[in-house]
């Protein structure tokens, strides 16, 4: 497989179960190490590097809302963890004077009422709230690459729609390079400027721009059944 994602791309990745979408995403994120081949992120060779090392360029929103946040910690503490400019071995206090106000402003932009719940433990939030928080955390430090791993699949239809709209808004506003795995063809068609279809570990379809905009769900369905 050979895939190059250009800066500013919003790539939707679709494919059957077992096609290799998640393997692709996990290899980029670093949870899986490739047997052979090379992986570059933002000009750095990261093929064998750990997840933590890559995190300075790569952010990720997990499928399971519980995975992307630490449930026992408060909303504010979770956000602090996402501010990656301080090393995790630092012995400086993590609470800063301006923090509460800054976080409240950020959370207010999510429109989920989280700005009043800075000190609430994340485990008491709803799935949608947790996922929106995950999204905010993943994009807080302006990553070079944002990975979305079916991040709306565990949510109810309404919340899923809200989180997707939120994703679009954040990605557009921060000009993020994004790769989104999804099983929802409509999302893959609606969002992003590029669509990649994976099958049997190979790229079966890679369309962008105009061609992608003309793509119909029925075209994709045809490819799926091949």
Partner 1 sequence: MLITSIGQGLLWAPLVIGVFLTFRILDIPDLTTEGSFPLGAAITISTMLNGQSALTASLLGFLGGCAAGWVTGMLDTKLKMPSLLAGILTMTGLYSINMHIMGRANVPLLDQKVLTNYLPAGWSLDVQTILIGGIITTLVVLSLVWLFQTRLGLSLMATGNNAAMSAANGIYTDRMVIIGYMLSNGLIALSGGLIAQSNGYADIGMGIGTIVIGLASVLVGEIFLHGRKIWIRLTGMVVGAIIYRYLLTLAMGMGFPVNDLKILSAVILVIVICLPMLQTKYQTKRQLNRYLKQIGVEQNVTNRHPERTTTTESLLPGNQQRTARFEERELDD
Strand pairing category for 178-181 and 10-15: parallel
Under rule CB under 8 A, residue 109 binds partner 1: no
Q: Quick one: which of 4, 35, 89, 97 contacts partner 1 (CB under 8 A)?
A: 89
Under rule CB under 8 A, residue 148 binds partner 1: no
Closer to partner 1 by Cβ: residue 135 or 189: 135
Options 32-40, 85-93, 99-107, 152-160: segment touching partner 1 (CB under 8 A): 85-93
Q: What is the 3 state secondary structure string of 135-177?
A: HHHHHHCCCCEEEEECCCCCCCHHHHHHHHHHHHHHHHHHCCC
Picking from 221, 194, 190, the residue whose alpha carbon sits closest to that of residue 207 is 194
110, 131 in Cβ contact below 8 A? no
Q: How far is the CB of 74 from partner 1 (least distance, A)?
A: 8
Rounded Cα gap, residues 83 and 145, in angstroms: 16
Q: Distances from the Cα of 139 to the Cαs of 38, 78, 156, in angstroms? A: 26, 13, 23
Q: Quick one: which of 42, 46, 67, 205 contacts partner 1 (CB under 8 A)?
A: 67
Phi/psi of residue 147, nearest 5 degrees? -105, 125
Under rule CB under 8 A, residue 71 binds partner 1: yes
Under rule CB under 8 A, residue 22 binds partner 1: no
Q: Quick one: which of 4, 90, 158, 218 contacts partner 1 (CB under 8 A)?
A: 90
Residues 6+ apart with CB under 8 A from 125: 75, 114, 117, 133
The 35-64 contact track toward partner 1, x by CB under 8 A, reads: ---------------xxx--xx--xx-x--
Q: Quick one: which of 13, 14, 19, 69 contacts partner 1 (CB under 8 A)?
A: 69
Rounded to the nearest 10 degrees, how much is the dihedral formed by the CA atoms of 56, 62, 65, 70? Answer: -30
Q: Quick one: which of 70, 108, 153, 217 contacts partner 1 (CB under 8 A)?
A: 70
Q: Quick one: which of 4, 91, 210, 225 contacts partner 1 (CB under 8 A)?
A: 91
Go through the chain and tell me how many residues it has. Answer: 226
Interface residues with partner 1 (CB under 8 A) are 29, 31, 50-52, 55-56, 59-60, 62, 66-73, 77, 80-82, 84, 86-95, 121, 123-124, 137
């Amino acid at each position: 497989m050979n895939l190059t994602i250009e800066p500013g791309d919003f790539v939707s990745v679709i494919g059957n179960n077992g096609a290799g979408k998640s393997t692709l995403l996990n290899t980029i994120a670093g949870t899986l190490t490739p047997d052979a081949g090379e992986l570059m992120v933002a000009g750095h060779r990261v093929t064998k590097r750990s997840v933590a090392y890559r995190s300075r360029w790569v952010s990720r929103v997990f499928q399971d809302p519980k995975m992307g946040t630490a449930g026992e910690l408060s909303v504010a503490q979770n956000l602090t963890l996402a501010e990656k400019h301080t090393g995790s071995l630092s012995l400086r206090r993590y609470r800063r004077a301006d923090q509460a106000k800054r976080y409240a402003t950020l959370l207010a932009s999510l429109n989920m009422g989280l700005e009043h719940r800075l000190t609430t433990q994340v485990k008491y939030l709803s799935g949608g709230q947790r996922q929106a928080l995950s999204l905010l955390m993943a994009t807080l430090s302006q990553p070079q690459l944002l990975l979305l791993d079916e991040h709306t699949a565990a949510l109810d239809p309404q919340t899923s729609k809200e989180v997707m709209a939120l994703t679009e808004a954040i990605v557009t506003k921060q000009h993020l390079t994004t790769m989104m795995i999804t099983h929802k063809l409509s999302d893959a068609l609606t969002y992003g400027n590029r669509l990649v279809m994976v099958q049997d570990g190979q790229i079966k379809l890679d369309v962008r721009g105009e061609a992608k905009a003309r793509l119909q769900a029925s075209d994709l369905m045809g490819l799926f059944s091949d």
